[in-house]
Amino acid sequence: MWTQISEHISQATGKSFTIESQKSVSGGCINQGYCLIGEDTKYFVKINHASQVEMFTAEALGLKEMAETQTIRVPKPICWGMTERSSYIVLEWLEFGRSSKDSWDLMGRNLANMHQYQGQSKFGWSQNNTIGSTPQVNNWTEKWSDFFADHRIGFQLKLASRKGGNFGNYSQIVEKVRDILSTIHPQPSLVHGDLWSGNAAVTEAGEPVILDPATYYGDREVDIAMTELFGGFPAPFYRGYNEVFPLDEGYKKRKTLYNLYHILNHYNLFGGGYGSQANYMIQEVLKS
């Protein structure tokens, strides 16, 4: 496997690369991660089953699309593919450092600039991808209310029902989501899609980086909502963001709805207490 990957790196970069050593590093919840060390270069590699090659393809394309906006730093994808038993993605190796008020402020500003990049007139993306290891449907859709109701909340509710989850009347919940979002008309913004603190970092030089995307074109508020889901980002992030691209007052009312998607996904992935949290959020949405 490693010989094939090193050959692929050489082909992709046009520079011979031989693995001198490798070490295991964190690859997130669903992948094995490695640092490949050559004579004068390092690469970050994520490994999964061969069946997951489309997941890595979508990740690479998402990183490329975000990089093309020239707004915020993302890891550069070098190559990706599959061996007989495994799939992989090779990314540039980034040395991360300690964050500061200034780096969080800059991350907010850079994300706001990316959200102002509007390369599409519809909601969705050029292909389906994953949120964690869960499939994420990105069929192009004219209305945001239809996209989020059907392809985000509705899709997760269907997955949950197959796992024995009971969150109430499917149609009632989905139509309530559609009704709430039908009152707003956001422009499709390129969003990260899975923006929690584990997917945000700072290089040693102080440059903000976002990684492991679940990219699509949607309401930019979905990214901001998720930054608040698991403890929140530091205050300078939000100040910087709002100075560049102020949030609408109605965001506070929609935050729970947008984060319901991620809690349902966590229930489908991990079970446990996420089910009761999802039930509570659904009741809040139905009352709104």
Q: Per residue in 160-210, pLDDT tens?
A: 999 888 899 999 999 999 999 999 999 999 999 999 999 999 999 999 999
Give percent of the chain above pLDDT 90. 94
Flag whether pLDDT at 267 surpasses 80.
yes
Domain 101-287 listed as CATH 1.10.10.10: no
The pTM of the full predicted model, rounded to 2 decimals, is 0.95
Q: Looking at residue 121, what is its pLDDT?
A: 96
Residue 53: the pLDDT is: 96
- pLDDT tens figures, 139-159: 999 999 999 999 999 999 999
Q: What is the pLDDT of residue 288?
A: 86
- Distance from chain centroid for Cα 286: 26
Query: What class is the 2-92 domain?
Result: alpha beta
Of the candidates 195, 50, 60, 208, the residue with the CA atom closest to the CA atom of residue 127:
60
* End-to-end Cα separation, the chain, in angstroms: 53
The pLDDT assigned to 272 comes to 87
Per-residue pLDDT tens for 214-260?
999 999 999 999 999 998 999 999 999 999 999 999 999 999 999 99
| Active-site annotation holds for 212 | no
Active-site annotation holder among 40, 105, 194, 248: 194
Domain chopping of the chain, boundaries: 2-92, 101-287
99 has pLDDT over 90: yes
